[in-house]
Amino acid sequence: MNKLCIVVPCYNEEQALPYTNAELTKIVDRLVQSQKIDKTSFILYVDDGSRDSTWTMIENFRTQFSDVFGLKLARNTGHQNALTAGLLTAMNYADMVISIDADLQDDVSVMEEMVDKYLQGNDIVYGVRKRRDTDTLFKKFSALSFYRLMQLMKINIVYNHADYRLMSKRALEQLSLYKERNLFLRGIVPLIGYPSVTVKYDRKSRVAGKSKYSLSKMFSMAFEGITSFSIQPIRMITDLGLIIVLCSICAAIYAFYSYLTKSVVAGWTSTILSIWFIGGVQLISVGLIGTYVGKIYVEVKERPRYAIEINDLTEIRHEQS
């Protein structure tokens, strides 16, 4: 029978964890009783360098529940790295892995449907939101703009999908081959290409604590995804440069015509505006190219994406040996 692991990245989630653990253990028990997963299936909490009592709570869960384990990272590395650490660690102990955020805004009840889709032969099952009725107007606008921007940049991602998904062991093995340090899993996972399907659900409100995704972090994630998966921005700069050159030629023709007809108007406004405009375009262009160069710099150093301080799953390996 197939063994399931639920990976939960955590950062300062002491308020939400009691509810999260209660709900997830219920789901695991229900799936075991329905004989859809093996009785040795488990939950893996990944503590991403939390500054509160998150890890202490995970340790307490470990003593109370035989199917709960913890993975503690040595420092805060960010959501995508913490999630990757959990996925690649769980890959060695499970046949399929479901990732979900600790706030449980994603509906855990569809996990059973995800497992069913896996048993039908799908390697990747994406959790996709049905609607955004509970979002603010700004949140709806920013989310819609994000997906349209990704399409414009020719980046293949699943619409209305975050990081709530099921992946088979062989899909995770392929994921482990992607060594880049600039992680954007929503763009990487579709590149794997194995059979995939979606399940839809309604997103709920956060039960406790506050969201770790501020506006600046959302913009940062979008920029990270674009610059990690597309060179379209550089092509757009080239196109913009060509347009500016054409405009300059037209302006030169107009200036020459004005000179011949003796209708030249004295003034520096147009000149100053042109200098400012072209100067701004140049600075943006240099900054964007510098971002790509910086990413290359980070990649070639090949530094580890995270360091694992404590891995409770090693106990399973000792028991099996």
Interval 65-123: pLDDT, tens: 999 999 999 999 989 999 999 999 999 999 999 999 999 889 999 999 999 999 999 99
Query: Which pLDDT value is given to residue 206?
Result: 62
Q: What are phi and psi of 14, to 5 degrees?
A: -60, -30
Order of strands across the sheet with 124-129? 196-201, 124-129, 161-168, 96-99, 4-10, 42-47, 68-73, 308-311
Query: Distance (Å, rounded) from C-alpha 123 to C-alpha 120?
Result: 9
Strand segments, DSSP code E, in the chain are: 4-10, 42-47, 68-73, 96-99, 124-129, 161-168, 196-201, 308-311
Query: Which pLDDT value is given to residue 259?
Result: 66
Query: Which pLDDT value is given to residue 268?
Result: 47
Query: Distance (Å, rounded) from C-alpha 230 to C-alpha 223?
Result: 10
Query: Which pLDDT value is given to residue 255?
Result: 67
Query: Which pLDDT value is given to residue 222?
Result: 65
Query: Distance (Å, rounded) from C-alpha 206 to C-alpha 228?
Result: 30
Contacts 24+ apart (CB under 8 A), 287-292: 288/233, 288/234, 288/237, 289/234, 289/237, 291/227, 292/227, 292/231, 292/234
Q: What is the mean pLDDT of residues 40-54?
A: 95
CA neighbor of 178 nearest in space, from 186, 292, 231: 186
**Within 13 Å and on the Cβ side, how many CA atoms surround 163?**
23
306 in helix, strand or coil? coil
Q: What are phi and psi of 11, to 5 degrees?
A: -145, 110
Can you give the C-alpha Rg of the chain in angstroms? Answer: 25
Q: What is the mean pLDDT of residues 51-71?
A: 95
Interval 130-170: pLDDT, tens: 877 666 676 777 777 777 777 777 778 888 888 999 999 99
Query: Distance (Å, rounded) from C-alpha 76 to C-alpha 99?
Result: 19
Cα of 231 vs its chain's centroid, Å:
19
Contacts of 203 (CB under 8 A, 6+ apart): 105, 106, 107, 129, 132, 134
Interval 264-316: pLDDT, tens: 555 545 675 677 677 767 777 777 787 778 777 777 777 788 889 989 887 66
Interval 284-297: pLDDT, tens: 777 778 777 877 77
Instruction: Say whether pLDDT at 321 is over 50.
Output: no
What is the share, in percent, of the chain residues with pLDDT greater than 70? 79
Cα-based distances in Å from 291 to 55, 204, 240: 35, 36, 18
How would residue 18 be classed by pLDDT, with cut points 50, 70 and 90?
A: very high
Query: Distance (Å, rounded) from C-alpha 278 to C-alpha 273?
Result: 9
Query: Which pLDDT value is given to residue 287?
Result: 73
Query: Which pLDDT value is given to residue 76?
Result: 94
Encoded amino acid at 65, one letter = F
Cα of 16 vs its chain's centroid, Å:
21
Query: Distance (Å, rounded) from C-alpha 3 to C-alpha 93?
Result: 8
Query: Distance (Å, rounded) from C-alpha 283 to C-alpha 258?
Result: 32
Q: Are 176 and 92 in contact (CB under 8 A)?
A: no
Interval 159-204: pLDDT, tens: 888 899 999 999 999 999 998 887 888 888 999 989 999 999 988 7
